[in-house]
Amino acid sequence: MESPEGKPIIYTMENKPIATCAGDQNVFTALYQTLARELPREPMEWRRSYGRPPKMIHLEANFVQFKEELLPSEGNKALLTFPFLHIYWTDCCDTEVYKSSVKDDITKWQNILKNYNTVDWLIVLVDSDAKKKNKTNILPRTSIVDKIRSDFCNKQSDRCVVLSDPLKESSRSQESWNAFLNKLRTLLLMSFTKNLGKFEDDMRTLREKRTEPGWSFCEYFMVQEELAFVFEMLQQYEDALVQYDELDALFTQYVVNFGAGDGAKWLKSFCQPVRSWNGLILRKPIDMEKRDLIQKNGASLLDLRSYLFSRQCTLLIFLQRPWEVTQRALELLHNCVQELRLLEVSVPLGALDCWVFLSCLEVLQRIEGCCDRAQLESNSSHTVGLWTYATEKLKSLGYLCGLASENGPNSEDLNRTVDLLAGLGEERPETASSLQSPYKILKEALSSVETFEKHYLQQSCAAMEMYKTIGRLRSARLIGKSLAEFYMRKGDPQKAETFLQDALKIYLAEGWALPVTHTRKQLAECQKQLGQTENYLQTSSLLASDVNLTEEERKHFCQEILNFANCQDDNQVQKIILGMSTFAQLKELHFEPSSAVVHVGGILNIELSLFSHMPVAVLLENIVASVHFSIEKSNFRKATEWQGKQRKVSLGSNGIIHFQSDPPIGSPCQSNMPSLELYEMYDKSPSDNSLNSTGVICKNVHLLLRRQESVSSIEMPSAISVEDGAQSLRANNTLLQPGLNKIVFSTQAKDPGLYTLRQLVATVGRVQFVLPHIYPIVQYEIYSQEPNLKVEPLNDNLLAGIAQRVKFTLFTGHYTIRNGDALQLSNADSLIILCSAKYVATILANTGEKIKDSTLMVQSSEKVTSITLPLASAYHIVEFELEVMCHIPSSIPKSESERLTNGELYRKTKERHNPELCMVSLDQKISIDCPWSIYSTIIALTFYIPFKVKHSLLSAGKRKYIQVCLQNMSDVSFNLSDPQLKEIMKYPNVNLISMNQENQQQIFSKQNVFYLWELKWSKELPSCLQCQLSVMFSPSSDEDEPNSLKPYTHDFIMENIYTLYTIKAEIYPSLGSEHCRTGCLCSLEVSIMRIAELLETDRDEALTESDGLCTTKLMYEVVDNSSNWAVCGKSSGVISMPVAARAIHKVHMEVMPLFAGNLPFPTVRIFKYLPHHSIHMAQPDTDSLIENDTLSIDKSLDEQADSSSIRSRTSTHSASSEHKGLPMPRLQPFSIGQVFNSSAGMQVLVVPSKDDHVLEVNVT
């Protein structure tokens, strides 16, 4: 058992709570081993004060011999040396011995304890049978115990325990051991609770005093740390840590308050200037020097912090929480820097950097010390912070000491370095052994430029790697950037570039404008030093157009480009090619003419709107748009197609194409996704197509579901090539002002075809800005066109016979109309062009806008009409209207016949189906000789004859009249004047007397006008008359004199005009009655009278001559179509008529009226009867017929007659046609004028008869 030294032992791992042993040392010694072994075996629950959670703890104790000095004097705050329990050992079993010695000894011991009013004591009575053996007078064991209890432990009898046969292996001894150990533990814990509680109370009261003047943090610190120690001793690291954290918080609070204004006096001691900055020390469990400093109020802020942290660190490591260490460390370091600032502690330049650097490394190494690789790897996210911090600090140190400059440190730098190193002091023994101690590293790093670089790189790379491994790319890039800066300082742009590029990429990708700008600036510098002219210029142009830069900076970079561009250099040959997008942006493009379609030789203007991003005006030597030319199929189109037509490209109206601007780096990754196309879905069932279901579906899923590729950087693609198209548009020496500029390309169209704009190249000296692709596609078209002539009527139907306007449209195409050019129209005599001075030609451009009017010369000779054209250049339109008139031919042959007349006039009827309603049309062909071609153009025009004529012959006995009906078929109404009917043959004795009242007459559309003439003749009348109607006409619309027009004429022929026979019919009532009655037979007398002598017309088979007397056979027939009459007996018959004037033949027959009232006569007709020539010509029949024609008994004829009479109702006079087998005679009608029926239209009154039944019969 160890004896306690005089001065309090400071905490070591072996430290245990102290218990003192009084009484019989030998007894104790005998049991010590077992005791020490058994005590910690079973955990004990420790109930805590202040509602802290109970804990199970394994108790140990450090048993020391009892001495009075051990007992703490009043106010002694030491806890570690505090004896928590006092035990008195005895194995006395003899009353005498007890009375004589033991009792007094215990009493004395008790008294000492009482003086120090400790109540934590225990009396152990060990009784062993072995001892009893040699005893004579044995009292029962209990008696001694009772005595002791009664003597000492009044009312707390449990303060005396019996340990029986401790060295025996018996159940009894076991029990007593357990009982004893339990007691011991309980008492120890009680003591802890009591004393620690008391201690804590004191501590609190002390803390409460902190506002009082003269309160010292350091004192308090020591007190609370004591507590921490105890907890640690009891392996309550958690609690221990809490103590330190409380101290930490308390201190921090003070500093904050100080910052807020009320500074505690004691804080002053911490504000002493920093003299040493040899980082944290975490290698030993407790840093005594610093502790002493604190105890002696000699600690600086850094000392205190370092000490606090070292303790926290140790405890945390006990608690297996290394990563908390790193995290706390970082906070601590930042915090310290802040606090020093706050307390305005004077710190030598760079001192802090050293301190931080060392501390970081120290922490890191400490952690490495207590974890294996794998753990470190997986937790680099915790350590990387420290790494970077260290790196930063090292960097700033390097810069401070001029180690990061091209030409090493100067003397001043060196002095500073020396001072800094001095501040580090001597290396500590505990790190002295390790080669990589922070101390050594720093010393070495600061020793020379090379070593600094080496270490700085190591650090940086290490940090970068860590960041990369844990996927913190941005942080890695940032370090990379600072590395780059370092390299630039070192004048090593080569190395810098890649880092800068990497950084730039990520900033661009994520669209961080300011970092982009800044990094670009650095990159530009770097590229300049590297002499990467092209890249440099590209970057410069980017920067020159960068709105985040100041005007000056932008001007500078722009100037850089211009300087390079304009510097005269021997190798002028190759030009530097840069992307245009940064330099200027094509906003829109405007075609003139807007159709973007030009005829060969025409002028095409393309106006570019170019937005210059440059801060100053730039003079472009030239700006060239390369053009791709392709012969377009179907290129030679009809000019008509071009009228105001657009190119099919994305030409907006008025020929402007807009180009969308590429997104600014504000928002790089706007979705380049196709927008989804949704449609309504209707799912019909196949059977009956009723809707199964409907819905919304997406048509382009496949496109959308494709993973979209990562955002492409906005950097210029490296290779831009200027393609030299054979064709190109160019504008020279244009000054490009900042902002919007308008540049006009003007070109004369040459070869017809399709032209596509490809590239835009702006040249400034040796620099070319290239827009590699112009999108959307810009195209214009050049066409060439043949001259051609178009003639069309103004109104849909051209009317013949009157003047009509016809429009001539002449597309000059590539032909230019020269002076004296004329159109030669070869005249058709039926179609004339009316010459007049007032013809005007209009000249238009191809696009349709009017250019000018000019009068038109039209001369007509009998052969040709020539139209002198006004001067018009190529690709123009000449329009004029001419008045033409198509004569109406006097005689219109049969409609069907379509034969050409030499006057190139032919006719055909359109719309055969109803020739009544439609006009007869005449197709007129004009052949025109145009100046531009040797062939003559043939143009067809269709005219319509507005009129139609019907004529008819009317007779009154022998007198004859001709009626003519004129129909106006057209939609126009006309004025008709002096109608005339001429007899063409000019028979001397024939003349026509007009019976028409007025000479002037108007005829409206679709109306008829009737004319009447009487035909008079003296001697014999010709069998055939040729007449011609002629009527003057003019459209009633125009007032001007119609005499210019020819009259409308119509020819017609009339034959057999002369009357041969007159027929007279009469009906007499039956005898005795003065009226015809229905149902009663009446007699019908038909008298046929020959009027003329033998005439030409009689010459036919019917005529028979016998001894100078000629007769002709006629057949008469009585027909009643209206079935008013029933003809009884023969209704028809053949008679032979003497061919002599005044010869009369009467026929009688019976007719019966079927109705009452005024009944029209039955119709009586006569035909020529042409008998057939046969061998047995029925001569006798005819004779007999001739004899008694009133009643014939001829069988055959009888039948025939009957049949006919019966059939009379159905009124067919072709009875003979039904003659079976018999050779039949022919009937020939007379032409209309030859027979005059004088009783036509006569009526006779019929009165109803009395007896109805007859009527009845007859009706049926």
User: Shortest approach of other proteins to residue 939 CB, angstroms?
Assistant: 41
**Integer Cα distance of 889 and 801 in angstroms:** 9
Beta carbon of residue 471, minimum distance to other proteins (angstroms, whole number)? 7
Pick between residue 473 and residue 834 the one whose CB is nearest to other proteins: 473
Least CB distance to other proteins at residue 511 (A): 3
Decide whether 682 or 1068 has the Cβ nearer to other proteins: 682
Near other proteins by CB under 8 A, which window of 118-126, 689-697, 1035-1043, 1107-1115?
A: 689-697
Interaction between residue 713 and other proteins (CB under 8 A): no
Least distance (Å) from other proteins to the CB of residue 302?
15
Walk across the sheet containing 739-748 and list its strands.
656-658, 584-592, 603-612, 739-748
Residue with tokens 């029925």: 1178
Contact 330, 386 (CB under 8 A): yes
Whole-number minimum distance, CB 398 to other proteins, in Å?
A: 17
Compare residues 407 and 690 and give the one whose CB is closer to other proteins: 690
Name the residue among 815, 783, 791 with its Cα closest to residue 639: 783
Per CB under 8 A, which of residues 610..669 are in contact with other proteins?
A: 666-669
Cβ burial of 1175 (10 Å; 0-12, 13-18, 19+) is exposed
Instruction: Candidates 120-128, 305-313, 694-702, 1248-1256: pick the segment binding other proteins (CB under 8 A).
Output: 694-702
Our finding on whether 677 is near other proteins (CB under 8 A) is yes
Shorter beta-carbon distance to other proteins: residue 670 or 1008: 670
Q: Which two tokens stand for residue 798?
A: 């051209």
Q: Which of 14, 96, 208, 331 binds other proteins (CB under 8 A)?
A: 331
Q: DSSP per residue over 423-488, as a string?
A: HH-SPPHHHHT-TT-HHHHHHHHHH-HHHHHHHHHHHHHHHHHHHHHTT-HHHHHHHHHHHHHHHH
In the region spanning residues 1183 to 1222, those forming contacts with other proteins, defined by CB under 8 A, are none
Q: Which is nearer to other proteins, 118 or 522 (CB)?
A: 522
Largest Cα–Cα separation, the chain: 224
- Least distance (Å) between residue 459 CB and other proteins: 17
CA neighbor of 458 nearest in space, from 376, 394, 382, 401: 394
Binding mask 426-465 for other proteins (x = CB under 8 A): ----------------------------------------
Radius of gyration of the chain (CA): 71
Instruction: Decide: 880 and 840 in contact? Cβ < 8 Å.
Output: yes
| Of 460 and 1136, CB closest to other proteins | 460
Determine the Cα–Cα distance for residues 931 and 1037; give it in Å rounded to an integer: 38
If the CB atoms of residues 681 and 1109 are measured against other proteins, the closer one turns out to be 681
Site string for other proteins, 505-524 (x = CB under 8 A): --x--xxxxxx--x------
- φ/ψ bin of 725: left (φ > 0), alpha (ψ from -120 to 50), beta (otherwise): beta
Q: How many residues does the chain have?
A: 1260
For residue 282, give Cα distances in angstroms to 309, 313, 472, 1197: 8, 7, 29, 163
Stretch that binds other proteins, among 144-152, 700-708, 939-947, 1224-1232 (CB under 8 A): 700-708
Q: What residue has token string 């009228």?
A: 643
Q: What are phi and psi of 411, to 5 degrees?
A: -60, -45
| Span near other proteins by CB under 8 A; candidates 471-479, 717-725, 777-785, 1171-1179 | 471-479
Among 682, 775, 1004, 1010, binds other proteins (CB under 8 A): 682
Residue burial 990-1024, b: 16+ Cβ < 10 Å; e: rest:
bebeeebeeeebebeeeeebebbbebebeeebbee
Window contacting other proteins (CB under 8 A); options: 606-614, 628-636, 679-687, 1048-1056: 679-687
Q: Of 71, 41, 296, 84, which Cα lies nearest the Cα of 174?
A: 41
Q: Among 85, 223, 330, 841, which residue sits at the site for other proteins (rule: CB under 8 A)?
A: 330
Q: Which two tokens stand for residue 1218?
A: 């039904």
Q: Which of 691, 719, 934, 1193 binds other proteins (CB under 8 A)?
A: 691
| 467 touches other proteins (CB under 8 A) | yes
Q: What is the rounded CA–CA span in Å between residue 619 and residue 613?
A: 14
104 Rama sector, left if φ>0, alpha if ψ -120 to 50, beta otherwise: alpha
Which range in 205-213, 470-478, 633-641, 810-818 contacts other proteins by CB under 8 A?
A: 470-478
Q: Among 6, 214, 695, 820, which residue interacts with other proteins (rule: CB under 8 A)?
A: 695
Count of residues interacting with other proteins (CB under 8 A): 57
Site for other proteins in 371-410 (CB under 8 A): 381, 385, 389
For other proteins, the binding residue among 704, 714, 789, 835 (CB under 8 A) is 704
- Sites for other proteins among residues 200-259 (CB under 8 A): 252, 256, 259
Contact status: 769 vs other proteins (CB under 8 A): no
Residue 815 neighbours by CB under 8 Å, 6+ apart? 787, 874, 931, 932
Q: Is 670 in the site for other proteins (CB under 8 A)?
A: yes
* CA–CA gap between residue 562 and residue 554 (Å, rounded): 12
**CA–CA dist 153, 808 (Å, integer):** 147
Nearer to other proteins, 514 or 573 (CB): 514
Q: Which of 282, 61, 42 is nearest to 179 (CA)?
A: 42
Say if strands 1001-1003 and 1024-1035 run parallel, antiparallel, or are unpaired: unpaired
Nearer to other proteins, 682 or 1004 (CB): 682
Output 137 or 687, the one with its CB closest to other proteins.
Answer: 687
Considering beta carbons, is residue 518 or 982 the nearer one to other proteins? 518
622 - beta bridge partners?
A: 732, 763
Q: Which is nearer to other proteins, 697 or 995 (CB)?
A: 697
Residues within the interface to other proteins (CB under 8 A): 252, 256, 259-260, 330-331, 333-334, 337-338, 341-342, 381, 385, 389, 467, 470-475, 478, 507, 510-515, 518, 666-670, 675-682, 690-698, 701, 704-705, 707
